Homo-oligomer: A and B are copies of this chain.
Amino acid sequence: MDDDTANEILDGTYRALCKHGYAELTLQDIADETDKSKASIHYYYDTKEDLFTAFLEFLYGRYTDKVTGVTGASPQARLLSLLDVLLADGEDGPDTEFRTAMLEIRAQGPYNDGIREQLTKFDEFLYGELHSIIEAGIEREEFNEHVDPDLAAEFLTTMISGAHTRRVAVDYSMDRLHETVRTYVEQHLSPEPPEVSH
């Protein structure tokens, strides 16, 4: 399959997923969003799972480009910009439909090796990026030298995952969650411990 065909099918998958959600989605729904027939999509991808493994691979490429494209004058500035991008809401962020479909796809993790492997790649990539930013910040004495980069990176990865889940499940304001995470970075990673009066 050439790249144009692959991209057309995967772009159609994105639109179909936003419209129908994952559980109800059929190959026909995807075909309806492209100029391909259901049979030709089926020719490239045997099952809905195969197509979704490829789709997540495609999103992974976009995701890593987006994350590595975030720059900053210092590790702390880059970390805060990255949080702006990952926790964007409203017009700057993905649609509720897409976030919701992604949560449905996460629930496929335990039952589908291909999907779980792809999701694990996103998780590990984010962890790795956060880890290297935090390490660089400690080295430049921008972050507290007592911060454990492993734990701080786990922490932020888990917070971001929780922010996305609460946004979908209980329609929680991403702005409010964003403020919470920024406070962590500013207060708990910073080299100056909060002032304690006696």
Contact = CB atoms under 8 A, between A and B. Distances in A.
A146 B107 contact: no
Interface in A16-34: 21, 23
Copies in the complex: 2
Nearest to A197: B145
Interface string A20-55: 010100000000000000000000000000000000
A169 interface: yes
A116 interface: yes
A180 B158 contact: yes
A196 B145 contact: yes
Contacts of A66: none
Contact of A23 (B23, B103, B197): B23
